[in-house]
Amino acid sequence: MNRAEKLNRFEHALDLFLERVRKDPNLLAAVLVGSLTEETIWRKDAIGLWLIEKDGVTKRLRADGEDPRIFRTLVEEGVNLHVELIPRTRFKNPETRPHGFYVGCHCLRANVL
């Protein structure tokens, strides 16, 4: 599979996922963390997303532990999606929103979908 085919595969998976989640009334925004270009994807890579949702709608799993951050790994058309579910209040509050150098770098390349 060449780079263009890989990019098309990732874009198609992202489009299908967004088509489904747009129907969710609890979802306020989806943010692509990073970018989808031929230079940034490879066969076993994943798409990183933040899903901003209404407060209090995500059910925590035992595996989430005490960490306030909630991560899920989903698969769409064979492409892994690494998703962080972020309540609206936490996203808006500068003290609790995703932070740090690593996330700061991603914000520079993030796209609201």
Distances (CA, A) of 58 to 64, 78, 92, 97, 110: 11, 24, 17, 16, 23
SS3 56: coil
At residue 100, φ and ψ (nearest 5 deg) are 100, 165
Taking residues 8-13, what's their average pLDDT? Answer: 93
Strand positions, DSSP E, the chain: 27-33, 46-53, 70-76, 79-87, 111-112
What sign has the CA pseudo-torsion 10, 35, 28, 97? Answer: positive
Q: For each of the domains in the chain, give its residue range(s) and CATH number, in order of start.
A: 3-112 (3.30.460.10)
Is the pLDDT score of 105 beyond 50?
no
pLDDT (0 to 100) of residue 69 = 87
> Is the per-residue pLDDT at 16 higher than 90?
yes
pLDDT tens string 37-46: 777 776 668 8
Model confidence band, residue 13 (pLDDT cutoffs 50, 70, 90)? very high
Give which of 112, 50, 45 is closest to 79, Cα–Cα.
Answer: 45
